[in-house]
């Protein structure tokens, strides 16, 4: 099943972290995301480029709405022409399947905004 078709599930402190096998199966669906580690916590991280601050802010707000709808919230760092999104599950201090679902849904939002012309790639990222 595509990650974008899934919904986040309620997570508790004893919820299982995503396994290496699950990661290997699911990462191909979100190839632009990087698996990082901060303070011993695995996280998914991706920068999104836009043409200016207002577009970065529009993307930030769209991801924020998604987070509220799903009940799962990322770290969002908005700068001129850029939004960096980092997903992890605070309760388990690790990655959960929810995080990968949200990566895929974040990508879908970005693609939707691109296709609607509400966000444009910065000139350095256009081909």
Percent share of the chain, pLDDT over 70: 95
Which one-letter DSSP state was computed for residue 52? Answer: S
**Structure token pair of residue 118:** 């509400």
Q: What is the pTM of this model?
A: 0.91
So what's the pLDDT on residue 96?
95
Q: What are phi and psi of 78, to 5 degrees?
A: -105, 130
* Residue 46 clears pLDDT 90, i.e. is over it: yes
So what's the pLDDT on residue 124?
58
Q: What are phi and psi of 25, to 5 degrees?
A: -75, -35
- pLDDT range class, residue 127, cuts 50, 70, 90: very low
Q: Which residues contact 23 (CB under 8 A, 6 or more apart)?
A: 35, 95, 100
Strand, helix or coil for residue 45: strand
Percent share of the chain, pLDDT over 90: 79
* More confidently predicted of 1 and 11: 11
Q: Domains in the chain, start-ordered, CATH in brackets?
A: 34-125 (3.30.1360.20)
């Amino acid at each position: 099943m595509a990650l974008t078709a899934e919904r986040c599930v309620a997570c508790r402190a004893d919820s299982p972290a995503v396994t290496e096998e699950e990661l290997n199966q699911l990462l191909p669906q979100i190839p632009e995301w990087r698996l990082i580690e901060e303070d011993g916590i695995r996280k998914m991280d991706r920068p999104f480029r836009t043409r200016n601050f207002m577009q970065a802010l529009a993307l930030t707000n769209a991801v924020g709405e998604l987070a509220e709808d799903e009940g799962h919230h990322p770290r969002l760092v908005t700068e001129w022409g850029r939004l960096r999104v980092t997903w992890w599950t605070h309760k388990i201090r690790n990655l959960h399947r929810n995080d990968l679902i949200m990566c895929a849904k974040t990508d879908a939002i970005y693609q939707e905004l691109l296709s609607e012309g509400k966000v444009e790639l910065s000139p350095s990222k256009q081909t």
